[in-house]
């Protein structure tokens, strides 16, 4: 690959100097911030043989290059003389993109905990309806505390992640949130009693600020502006005590007096906007959300709807938006299953089956990016089917009574827990089944164009006059931990397989070793990723965690440099697993053969648990 030529083509396609605000890169992608993304020639980039994928999300225009991205990046910088930011944290002026970026950054770190709590809450509702548990039993109360605690004290979790996003003191932010949900304050709000602060009346909603979203996010944003000002005023030797004191004394009353009520009004207006559309026509609302949900997910716009779901549950005790999304998600699984049954490509069949399973549990990125979207017609069939299912659910008034990651496991959350409020769970199941079947049948009828990977491989070797041999060599595991398929990596570029074949490891020990003899061809200053070219010609990319480039090297210790020759088992990088997780990042580590096409096949060895230096992949030449 001519990196300079690739860089020149990419630069021209994104609009050049007149359109580029900033450029940074991670392990696989050039991350542009553009003045106007519509000026970029996205189609031209997608057709470029050296561009793997183009992703537009959260205000960033991401061009996926692969393991040699650093060289392409450097060629652009050198040729164009760019003055680029080091961290890429510059914010887009587009308000919508900024809001989506803020919401996704704040909610993503605890999405798993929230999903688990929501599912548990739904199953507890099912258990009481079926008579398996009574609401006054100790078992129910303990499990309900586990399920409801996340939502009751949601402002505390939001404060921690919002402070990270806004670069404020996380523990001070949590202290502000704790004041908002303090039991005595909540009791006063519930009793409808009037309170004041130095004679200024404090406006409290009946439920106080438990389960609220916008007030604490707004408060932490103001905190992030106040902290630097206070630090400038107070001498450094007094800052340890006085800065937190001033921030608490100012922010807690300010939140109760102004920011909280403003946030509540804004939240009610946001929820009221969707509910007014729903009130106009539940069928139309369901049709739109069911049809377009996966499109919203592709562009990162789905995060804009997350606060609406929370606000609906906080204000009304239920949400009508979440049930509409279930058919959209399951429909993608139905389309993927049809692809698996119809295709002659063994690899696509395996991906279709695995993607169907992940869709059932609410994870659609592998399905969309790996199966339905590249084939186009299956994606269209799934969107239409999801819209039909969403319209049925909207018409029937199905409601969710707890927030969760939308999947089959959330169906119990549709069981009513609010007196006098009905929710038709049966219709939700039927509508979701209809969407799944319609997407399946629609894909079979519409079909899709494909040339099987097996045929491509045969043609490739036949044209070259070569014979496929069974010669192979193995790679050792670079980590100790749990082995996962790439489809479970929480990043569409890795999970879809476009970067190449391989596996992922959820590490138990923070030591990364060389998987084979070879040369260190890429080592990032942040320590989060390393590229190795083995003596057998395999180009391996190991990416420690997801989005860990944002840690700027904190928690990573690099023990090698680019150009070093290493032996299998040599220690390359140490990393602090707990520190990375505490910062809100996943440590799931993809191990990918980026030049997969140079080999006949890459085979997994079916381990579930792996120890460093144990065989993990077989490369067939």
Catalytic residue numbers?
A: 26
CA dist., res. 349 & res. 497, Å (int): 14
> What's the token pair of residue 501?
């074949």
Q: Is the dihedral of CA 189, 190, 194, 198 positive or negative?
A: negative
CB 334 within 8 A of CB 455: no
User: Which parts of 91-213 fold into alpha helices (H)?
Assistant: 95-107, 111-129, 138-152, 154-166, 170-180, 183-191
Long-range contacts of 107-113, Cβ-Cβ distance < 8 Å, separation of 24 or more: 107/161, 107/303, 107/306, 108/161, 108/584, 109/161, 109/164, 109/584, 109/585, 110/150, 110/157, 110/161, 111/405, 112/405, 113/150, 113/157
- Give Cβ neighbours of residue 555 (< 8 Å, ≥ 6 apart): 575, 576, 579, 580, 583
> What's the token pair of residue 378?
């299956």
CA dist., res. 287 & res. 328, Å (int): 10
> What's the token pair of residue 471?
């010669």
CA dist., res. 540 & res. 344, Å (int): 29
Helix axes 260-280, 282-298, angle to 10 degrees: 120
């Amino acid at each position: 690959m001519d990196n300079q030529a690739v860089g020149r083509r990419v630069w021209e396609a994104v609009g050049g100097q007149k359109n580029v605000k900033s450029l940074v890169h991670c392990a696989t992608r050039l991350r542009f911030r553009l003045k106007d993304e519509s000026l970029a020639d996205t189609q031209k980039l997608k057709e470029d043989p050296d561009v793997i994928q183009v992703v537009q999300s959260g205000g960033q225009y991401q061009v996926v290059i692969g393991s040699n991205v650093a060289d392409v990046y450097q060629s652009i910088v050198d040729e164009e003389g760019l003055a680029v930011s080091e961290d890429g944290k510059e914010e887009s002026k587009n308000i919508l993109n900024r809001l989506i970026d803020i919401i996704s950054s704040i909610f993503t770190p605890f999405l798993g905990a929230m999903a688990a709590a929501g599912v548990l809450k739904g199953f507890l509702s099912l258990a009481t309806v079926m008579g398996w548990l009574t609401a006054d039993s100790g078992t129910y109360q303990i499990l309900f505390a586990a399920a409801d605690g996340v939502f009751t004290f949601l402002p505390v979790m939001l404060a921690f992640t919002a402070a990270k996003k806004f670069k404020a003191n996380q523990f001070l932010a949590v202290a502000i949130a704790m004041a908002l949900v303090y039991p005595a304050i909540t009791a006063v709000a519930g009793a409808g009693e009037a309170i004041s602060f130095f004679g200024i009346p404090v406006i409290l909603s009946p439920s106080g600020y438990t389960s609220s979203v916008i007030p604490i996010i707004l408060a932490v944003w103001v905190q992030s502006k106040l902290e630097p000002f206070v630090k400038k005023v107070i001498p450094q030797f007094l800052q340890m005590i006085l800065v937190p004191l001033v921030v608490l004394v100012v922010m807690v009353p300010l939140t109760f007096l102004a920011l909280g009520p403003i946030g509540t009004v804004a939240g009610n207006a946001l929820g009221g906007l969707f509910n007014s559309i729903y009130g106009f026509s539940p069928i139309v609302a369901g049709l739109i959300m069911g049809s377009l949900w996966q499109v919203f997910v592709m562009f990162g716009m789905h995060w804009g709807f997350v606060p609406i779901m929370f606000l609906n549950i906080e204000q009304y005790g239920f949400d009508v938006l979440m049930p509409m999304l279930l058919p959209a998600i399951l429909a993608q699984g139905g389309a993927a299953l049809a692809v698996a049954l119809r295709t002659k490509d063994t690899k696509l069949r395996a991906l279709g089956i695995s993607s169907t399973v992940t869709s059932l549990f609410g994870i659609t990125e592998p399905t969309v990016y790996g199966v339905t979207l590249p084939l186009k017609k299956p994606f269209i069939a799934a969107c239409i089917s999801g819209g039909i299912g969403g319209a049925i659910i909207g018409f029937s008034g199905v409601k969710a009574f707890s927030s969760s990651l939308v999947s089959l496991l959330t169906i119990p959350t549709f069981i009513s827990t609010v007196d006098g409020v009905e929710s038709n769970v049966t219709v939700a199941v039927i509508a979701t089944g209809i969407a799944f079947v319609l997407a399946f049948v629609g894909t079979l009828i519409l079909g899709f164009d494909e040339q099987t990977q097996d045929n491509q491989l045969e043609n490739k070797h036949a044209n070259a006059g070569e014979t496929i041999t069974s010669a192979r060599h193995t790679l050792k595991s670079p980590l100790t931990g749990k082995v996962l398929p790439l489809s479970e990596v929480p990043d569409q570029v890795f999970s879809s397989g476009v970067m190449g074949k391989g596996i992922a490891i959820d590490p138990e020990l923070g030591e990364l070793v060389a998987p084979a003899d070879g040369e260190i061809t890429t080592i990032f200053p942040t320590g989060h990723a390393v590229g190795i070219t083995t003596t057998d010609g395999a180009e391996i990319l190991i990416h420690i965690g997801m989005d860990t480039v944002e840690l700027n090297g904190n928690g990573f210790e690099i023990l090698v440099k680019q150009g070093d020759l290493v032996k299998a088992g040599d220690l390359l990088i140490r990393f602090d697993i707990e520190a990375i997780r505490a910062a809100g990042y996943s440590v799931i580590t993809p191990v990918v053969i980026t030049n997969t096409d140079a080999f006949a096949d890459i085979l997994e060895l079916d381990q579930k648990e792996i120890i460093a230096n144990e065989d993990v992949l077989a490369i067939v030449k």
